[in-house]
Structure 1
Amino acid sequence: MRSLLFAILVGLVGAALLHIVIILALPRFTGQDAYSRVLGLYEMDSFFPLTNEPGATGLANDDPFLRVAVCGFSVSTSPARFVAKGSVPFWSLSIYDADSNEIFSMNDQTAVNGNLDLVLATPIQLVDLRKSPPEALAQSIMVEMPNEEGYAVLRALAPTPSFEEPARNFLSESSCEPFRR
């Protein structure tokens, strides 16, 4: 009788684990994970603002007080540089790899002078940049990217209608592009 109960318990635990694994892996197999959706936004290396209604990719900005833009990038041939300036009450940037694991995040309080200036690079590219740092990167934050591809999410706070235009300008004037010496 004990072995029958033990077999039933092991079977239930195994079935529960199997269901959890299937549910977590499903977006990866269907091509509907966040990275695949970001790649569906035209081309890489540019921030694209999200609208309140889901577009063709299914990505949408569902927070009424935040304006959001996303950018797909690759550091396989050169580092990626993210730059944004403007007067918004709050902004944040999150960097994700192709598996949607967060690699790095920062906001206006952790940035130099409140402006976004970030360089993502492979370990070899970072060594090269640190050996002979370009003058243009004197104030840049340099971050190691463990994988070659990923995406960035830039958010700007617009708590009242008067901040709507500065938030949209902040996102539209931001850049996500390969860094060239």
Structure 2
Amino acid sequence: MTRVAGSLAIVLAAGLVLGGITHLAMVLAMPMLAGNTAFHRHAAALSPGETRLLVAQQDGNDVPFADPAVAMAVCAFDITEGPLRVEAPMPEGFGSLSVHGRDGTVLYSVTDRTAVNGVVTLVVMTRQQHDEALAAGRSDEASQELRFVSPRLQGLVVVRALAPYPSSLPEARERAAAMECMSAND
């Protein structure tokens, strides 16, 4: 009898461990298996250099569960051909600019505290593009811009502008929509 109970306990323990491993593997694999990611939705709808103002909606089409006091705009990037230059005017209150990979991972983020004359200028580039820019000696421009060496070639740039009062929401939307994404070679 004790032998049967011991065997049953071993089988149950093995089943729980196997179930736990399977569950953990599925949870970790979900971001790679999901097909309707933010990158896929926005990159397909945006042409290169186009900025799109995102709207908080209850049906979840653009940004589900978004804060109604925050205006957001997005642009998609692909830096295989050259660096991306982003210029985003920051609001009077709080603003942020973030770079996300295709999988939604936040790669880089800055706030309005880094703005020079109210504008955050960010250049997203690969390691090779960064080394070429350093070799070319373009350091006079670099004092006014932030440079980010991205580990991913494609992704999204998102700007957020907080409207401290409901009456300032149109201005926050205007600032967010004014973000410019362009090739740094232009």
Q: TM-score range by the shorter chain?
A: 0.7 to 0.9
Matched length: 180
Q: TM-score, normalised by structure 2?
A: 0.84
Work out whether residues 49 and 172 of structure 1, in 8 Å CA contact, stay in contact via their aligned partners in 2: yes
Kindly state the Cα deviation for residue 120 of structure 1 after the two structures are TM-superposed.
0.6
Q: Is 2:95 aligned against 1:64?
A: no
Identity between Structure 1 and Structure 2 (%): 29
- The one of 145, 158, 161 equivalent to 2:150 is 145
Shift of the alpha carbon at 1:88?
3.0
Once residues 101 and 119 of structure 2 are traced to their aligned partners in structure 1, the CA distance between those partners, rounded to angstroms, is 23
The aligned residue for residue 84 of structure 2 is 80
Structure 2: 5+ residue stretches without partners: none
Q: CA RMSD of the aligned region, Å?
A: 2.3
Q: Distance in 2 between matches of 1:180 and 1:79?
A: 7
Confirm or deny: 8 A CA contact 2:74 2:156 kept in the other structure.
Answer: yes
Cα contact 1:47–1:171 (8 A) shared by 2: no
Give the 3-state SS of the residue equivalent to 2:92 in structure 1.
coil
CA distance in 2, matches of 1:112, 1:164: 23
- Equivalent residue in structure 1 for 2:180, among 170, 175, 179: 175
Q: Which amino acid aligns with 1:116?
A: V
Q: Deviations over 1:80-112 (max 9, x none)?
A: 111012543110111111122211001012334
- Matched residue, 2:132: 128
What amino acid sits opposite 1:7 in the alignment? V
Which segments of 5 or more consecutive residues in structure 1 lack a partner in the other structure?
none
How far residue 13 of structure 1 moved from its aligned partner, in angstroms, is 2.6
Match of 2:95 in 1: 91
Partners of 2:12 and 2:114 in 1: CA distance: 53
CA distance in 2, matches of 1:93, 1:102: 11
Q: Does the Cα contact within 8 Å between 1:88 and 1:170 map onto a contact in 2?
A: no
Residue 107 of structure 2: aligned partner: 103
- TM-score normalised by L of structure 1: 0.86
Deviations 1:26-57 (A, max 9, x none): 453341122212223332432211112268x8
